[in-house]
Structures are given as structure tokens and as C-alpha cells.
């Protein structure tokens, strides 16, 4: 993104959330974003995911300039080239782990969606849990399912929004080890939003977002 701005109207006022943000992430690279609540971190992720549109600047992901894409095209790009990991897992509770992971592949028409999903669940350490539903699993296991779902289509970009926010310290550390390993070994890139400065320091670069601007933090 180059000089990206984002503003919203609220109670008759225009609120400037992002004020000309520059950010470039290379394949295999992990960039961490920290900042106070309300600083625009989630808005930045929503822009990169194509859920929101910038009010200024240039936003390009995986070679695609968002300004020329329709909402349907952005949805296809998000489904095919991005994986998203949320704090609250966002799993479908009526589906098994296998069915949750296979869902994005089925939506894309992949004929071997179930087999790919099974292999991905094995890779994240859930070989014995493929037929369990989310409420039958621990928080750490649910986040592993969410990670498997995010990676199963081999995305170019991973967006991780507070992925350890609902986990204890030990489980959260293991989840981040897995996320970092998959991102680097699959040569994807990741934008990680976190309140944890120690976790942010594990990234290749660490930025603080405050008052709509990015500040690069010292290693």
C-alpha cells in the first residue's frame, strides 16, 4: 500500500482513521502491527482484505490493484489468495474440523477438497481430531483448525488479527510457532496485529500504528 488513507463519517463528522500509510510486505516476510485500541489496526486489515475500500492512495495485493476490482472480484481474490486468522476462531460450530477446513476449497470448486483438508489438519497436529466439532475441542485446537483453514488454499498473504488473544500464554506461544513456521516454509507473507510487544518483536519488522500513521519500531 502507498499513501493509503481511510476515513469514515460518524455523527456528522469525518473521522480520519488512516492518514497516508505506506507498507510493503515481501513473500516469506512477517510484519507485526501494534498500537492502542482504536488506532486503526483492524481497519488496516479490513482494507488489505478488500472488505473496506481506501479513501485515498494505492492498495495492491499479490499484483492486483484494488481500485480496478469489483466487490465480487475482491471476494474471489480474498478467497483464493488470502488466509485470515481471527482471535475468536470464526469456525462453523455445526461442522467438523474437516468440514470447516474443506469449506473454502469446496466454494472454489476443488474436487479433492476433503483430502486436501485432511492433509492440512494432519500438518497442524490434528490427525485425531478431524471428525470433532469446534465445541468438542480446546481453544488451542480450534485455532489450529482456523490456521489449517487459512492455509489450505496455499494463500500468498495471511492476515492474523490477535490470533492468541483468547489463549493462555503457553498455548498461544505454540500457535504462533505454528503460524510463523507455515508462513515462512510456504513462502507466504503475514501481517500480524497484536498487543503483545514480545510477539511483535518476533516478526521481520514491527510497526506501531497511532493517530493514523505507521512508525517503524527498532529491532
Q: What pLDDT is attached to residue 154?
A: 93
- pTM, 2 dp: 0.93
Domain annotation covers residue 8: yes
Reported as a single tens digit per residue, the pLDDT across 58-72 is 999 989 999 989 999
Domain annotation covers residue 100: no
Q: Are 148 and 121 in contact (CB under 8 A)?
A: yes
Domain residues for the domain of 206 are 2-92+139-216
Domain annotation covers residue 120: no
The tens-digit pLDDT sequence of the chain (219 residues) is: 999 999 999 888 999 999 999 999 999 999 999 999 889 999 999 999 999 999 999 999 989 999 989 999 999 999 889 999 999 999 999 999 999 999 999 988 899 999 999 999 999 999 999 999 999 999 999 999 999 999 999 999 999 999 998 999 999 999 999 999 999 999 999 999 999 999 999 999 999 999 899 999 987
- Residue 166 belongs to a domain with what CATH number? 3.40.50.300
Domain annotation covers residue 200: yes
Domain annotation covers residue 101: no
Q: What pLDDT is attached to residue 208?
A: 96
Across 158-193, b (16+ Cβ under 10 Å) vs e yields bbbbbbbebbeeebbeebbebbbebbbebebbbbbb
Q: What pLDDT is attached to residue 57?
A: 95
β strands within the chain, DSSP E: 2-10, 13-21, 30-34, 56-58, 60-61, 64-65, 82-85, 157-161, 189-193, 205-210, 213-216
Domain annotation covers residue 128: no
Q: What pLDDT is attached to residue 108?
A: 86
- DSSP, collapsed to helix, strand or coil, labels residue 67 as helix
Q: How many domains does the chain have?
A: 1
Q: How many Cα atoms within 13 Å fall on the side-chain side of residue 133? A: 5
Reported as a single tens digit per residue, the pLDDT across 18-32 is 999 999 999 999 999
Categorise residue 14: left if φ over 0, alpha if ψ from -120 to 50, beta otherwise.
Answer: beta
Domain annotation covers residue 204: yes
Q: What pLDDT is attached to residue 130?
A: 97
Q: Are 183 and 190 in contact (CB under 8 A)?
A: yes
Domain annotation covers residue 126: no
Amino acid at each position: 500500500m502507498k499513501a493509503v488513507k481511510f476515513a469514515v463519517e460518524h455523527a456528522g463528522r469525518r473521522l480520519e482513521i488512516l492518514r497516508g500509510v505506506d507498507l510493503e510486505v515481501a513473500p516469506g516476510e512477517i510484519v507485526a502491527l501494534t498500537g492502542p485500541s482504536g488506532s486503526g489496526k483492524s481497519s488496516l486489515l479490513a482494507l488489505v482484505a478488500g472488505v473496506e475500500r481506501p479513501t485515498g492512495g494505492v492498495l495492491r495485493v499479490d499484483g492486483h490493484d484494488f481500485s480496478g476490482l469489483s466487490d465480487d472480484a475482491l471476494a474471489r481474490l480474498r478467497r483464493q489468495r488470502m488466509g485470515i486468522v481471527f482471535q475468536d476462531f470464526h469456525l462453523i460450530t455445526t461442522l467438523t474440523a474437516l468440514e470447516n477446513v474443506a469449506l473454502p476449497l469446496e466454494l472454489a470448486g476443488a474436487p479433492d477438497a476433503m483430502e486436501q483438508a485432511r492433509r492440512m489438519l494432519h500438518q497442524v497436529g490434528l490427525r485425531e481430531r478431524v471428525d470433532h466439532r469446534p465445541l468438542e475441542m480446546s481453544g488451542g485446537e480450534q485455532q489450529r483448525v482456523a490456521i489449517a483453514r487459512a492455509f489450505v488454499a496455499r494463500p500468498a498473504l495471511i492476515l492474523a488479527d490477535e490470533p492468541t488473544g483468547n489463549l493462555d500464554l503457553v498455548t498461544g506461544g505454540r500457535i504462533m510457532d505454528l503460524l510463523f513456521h507455515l508462513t515462512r516454509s510456504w513462502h507466504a507473507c503475514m501481517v500480524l496485529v497484536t498487543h503483545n510487544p514480545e510477539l511483535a518483536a518476533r516478526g521481520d519488522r514491527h510497526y506501531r500504528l497511532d493517530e493514523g500513521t505507521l512508525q517503524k519500531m527498532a529491532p
